[in-house]
Structure 1
Amino acid sequence: MRKYRKAKPEDDLEIAEISVQSWKFAYKGIMPDETLKSLDSQKRARERRDFLKENSLSTYICLESGKPVGFVDFEICRDKDCDKNVGEIWAIYISPEYIGKRIGKELFSISTNKLAQKGCSEIAVWVLSENKLAKEFYERQNLTADGKEREYLGLREIRYRKNIAPTQSSLHIS
């Protein structure tokens, strides 16, 4: 059975493992092989814990038969050209073997609903310009590129945006 819940500090390592698996899958051929080979779940979990000591970030995880298989990070948008009514999805990562099973769409729905409940009327997300899978996913969710670009790890990212409002959800969220 699939469930969703707010992440807890003890989930950091599993979140990091999903992140590393997802990066190796999604960014193969986009990021240098050395970068992907050097990814370390333990290090990423430590960096996440350190970040969360001083920063606000909302995270929900997807559990499939009790096993974490995906997560979404989101919060008020960090971009200086956005005001406080713009939320930002920082990351949606799914274990590669669970891609295509609607988990990404469901995590997207949870994050947009939670941001709308915080008073956001719009969301933004940054996507690597070469990440066709992510671009197609966000375009299916009716986000559109707004013309803003930036560099991330030597690669070009583009920003997508969309207006949002709270909706009813039939997902099991605890």
Structure 2
Amino acid sequence: MKIRSATLADAHAIAEIHVHSWQQTYRGIVPDVYLDSMTVATREVVWRETLLQSHPKVIVAVDDAKVVGFCSFGRCRDEGAGSNDGEIWALYLSPAQLGKGFGRELLSVACAQLSAQRKTHISFWVIVGNNRATRFYKAAGFEPEPASVKVFELAGADIEEIRYVQACSSLIAPLDCRT
């Protein structure tokens, strides 16, 4: 396993992982009409633009020369967030690669890089009902902020998400982004 910065050449693989992960993870949580309308081609355009802009930062997990997961992260996008607040914008794995340690490594590298940027708090948003992600982030030391629950509309349905947060020091070891 190798974790490296994503390149423009990775956009298609990232898009495939993004679409397939959403279609598997969120079936029964978000409307099927939305999931069924997702295409790799559309997501690839978005990821190409993201990679060209270099923000947010995107890293990939590679196994046997194949991209099997990705994580994007950067400044916290929440209203009122301070300059020391970082955010995991997305972390997705190819569904066949779940439970093999790729997600933990991606999260560790992202936390370490955010810590190196002097971010003291790291947050991310999880769609309510994504129990696998909830367990994963709690195991990594993140805690939910119950007062942060918000609702957004997706394909005519109200979807709830909740913010998880962790305080990190600037001396975090790559595999220990915990308070």
- Decide: shared fold, TM above 0.5: yes
How far is the alpha carbon of 1:60 from its aligned partner? 0.6
How far is the alpha carbon of 1:49 from its aligned partner? 2.6
SS in 1 for 2:110: helix
SS in 1 for 2:9: helix
> Given residue 149 of structure 1, which amino acid in structure 2 is its aligned partner?
V
Provide the residue aligned with 2:117 in structure 1. Answer: 118
Distance 1:78 1:66, change over 3 A: same
TM-score by length of 1: 0.91
Task: Tell me, in whole angstroms, the C-alpha distance in 2 between the residues paired with 1:28 and 1:133.
Answer: 13
How far is the alpha carbon of 1:8 from its aligned partner? 0.6
Q: How does 1:99-118 map to 2 (within 5 A)?
A: 99-118=98-117
Task: Give aligned-pair identity as a percent.
Answer: 34
Unaligned runs of 5+ in 1: none
How far is the alpha carbon of 1:52 from its aligned partner? 5.0
Q: How does 1:14-163 map to 2 (within 5 A)?
A: 14-52=13-51, 56-146=55-145, 147-152=147-152, 153=154, 154-163=158-167
Task: Tell me, in whole angstroms, the C-alpha distance in 1 between the residues paired with 2:59 and 2:53.
Answer: 19
Deviations 1:135-159 (A, max 9, x none): 1111111111122122232301100
Distance 1:54 1:4, change over 3 A: closer
TM-score by length of 2: 0.89
Are 2:62 and 2:68, in contact at CA under 8 Å, matched by a contact in 1? yes
Q: How many residues align?
A: 169
Deviations 1:54-102 (A, max 9, x none): 5721011000110000000000101112201010001110001110001
Unaligned runs of 5+ in 2: none
Task: Tell me, in whole angstroms, the C-alpha distance in 1 between the residues paired with 2:150 and 2:67.
Answer: 31
Task: Tell me, in whole angstroms, the C-alpha distance in 2 between the residues paired with 1:16 and 1:141.
Answer: 25
For the pair 1:168 / 2:173, whether they are aligned, the reply is yes
Task: Tell me, in whole angstroms, the C-alpha distance in 1 between the residues paired with 2:6 and 2:51.
Answer: 12
Distance 1:138 1:93, change over 3 A: same
